[in-house]
Amino acid sequence: MTSEHPGPPAARPAPPRTDGVDLTGRSALVTGGGSGIGRACAEAFAAAGALVHVVDVDAESAKAVADAVGGVPHAVDLTDADALDALPAAVDVLVNSAGTQYVAPVHEFPPARFELIQRLMVTAPFLLLRHCLPHMYGRGWGRVVNISSVHGLRASPYKSAYVAAKHGLEGLSKVAALEAAPHGVTCNCVNPGYVRTPLVEGQIAGQAAVHGIAPKDVVTDVLLGRSAIKRLIEPDEVAAVAVWLCGPHTGYLTGASIPVDGGWGAS
């Protein structure tokens, strides 16, 4: 982000925060693991001791992150349902983080783009749950963390596909939580506001166009307009919550949506 954004960026914790969660001997599959929140999750789960399968459509990014955390890279287009079958099913933790964004009014929104966002952000998590839950059930333990959004609980203009997808992910997560509970498996959503990621940076121009404001004003006037804490969230802050949900003290926490939104939901 540019220097025009409010406040200094928060320092990245080094190593990533795990808050004492020990996942030694466990394995985790993280989608969108090549950048942004997914990368932060891959780093945090590896720091907690898990073997991390880093899934990303960008092969170079997946390999770079996997090499850095001692994990396994998987270059997969999650919108290709058949390609998901090649991913490992025998994992203990599933983190659905992959996503994309497109900003346009409903009456101008490209139908093909709308459908693609649903495939990536709703259908792919469903297929991965279907793929991975049998192993978790067999082990009697598993954790599913769906990286949702504040937009899984409310809406903003010009984001029909993204908001619809995140609301769909919320419903899917709750159903999975109810079904998985007897098997020792929990399923929760993490709901961040605007995070300092390439996904957010990439939508600034589009937001400026639809709102009729300068790009430099998008962060303060649009992204942080409803947040009580006037800074972007750091990816590591979201990843820390994801790891926390996999700790021994959260076994009774399931079907929940955990806000990490700087007070947006309270406004």
Please enumerate in sequence order all residues whose Cβ is within 8 A of that of 174, keeping only pairs 6 or more positions apart, or say none.
187, 255
| pLDDT at site 4 | 37
Query: Distance between CA 42 and CA 66 in Å, rounded?
Result: 8
The residue type of 206 is G
* CA-based torsion, 246, 248, 134, 49: positive or negative: positive
| pLDDT at site 226 | 85
Please enumerate in sequence order all residues whose Cβ is within 8 A of that of 177, keeping only pairs 6 or more positions apart, or say none.
186, 187, 188, 254, 255, 256
- Cis amide prior to 15 (ω within 30 degrees): yes
Closest CA to 54 of 38, 22, 124, 24: 38
| pLDDT at site 244 | 98
* DSSP assigned state of 163: H
* pLDDT by position in tens, the chain (length 267): 333 333 434 444 455 767 789 999 999 999 999 999 999 999 999 999 999 999 999 999 999 999 999 999 999 999 999 999 999 999 999 999 999 999 999 999 999 999 999 999 999 999 999 999 999 999 999 999 999 999 999 999 999 999 999 999 999 999 999 999 999 999 999 999 989 888 777 777 777 887 888 877 888 888 888 888 888 889 999 999 999 999 999 999 999 999 999 998 998
| pLDDT at site 1 | 32
Instruction: Name the segment(s) of the chain with CATH classification 3.40.50.720.
Output: 27-195+234-260
The residue type of 22 is D
Query: Distance between CA 169 and CA 187 in Å, rounded?
Result: 11
Residue 179, classed as helix, strand or coil, is helix
162 flagged as catalytic: yes
Out of 102, 137, 158, 162, the active site residue is: 162
| pLDDT at site 14 | 54
**Nearest-10 Cα torsion for 223, 228, 232, 234:** -140
Range 27-195+234-260 classified under CATH 3.60.15.10? no
Query: Distance between CA 242 and CA 232 in Å, rounded?
Result: 18
Query: Distance between CA 50 and CA 142 in Å, rounded?
Result: 13
pTM: 0.89
Count CA atoms closer than 13 A to 116's CA, side-chain side. Answer: 10
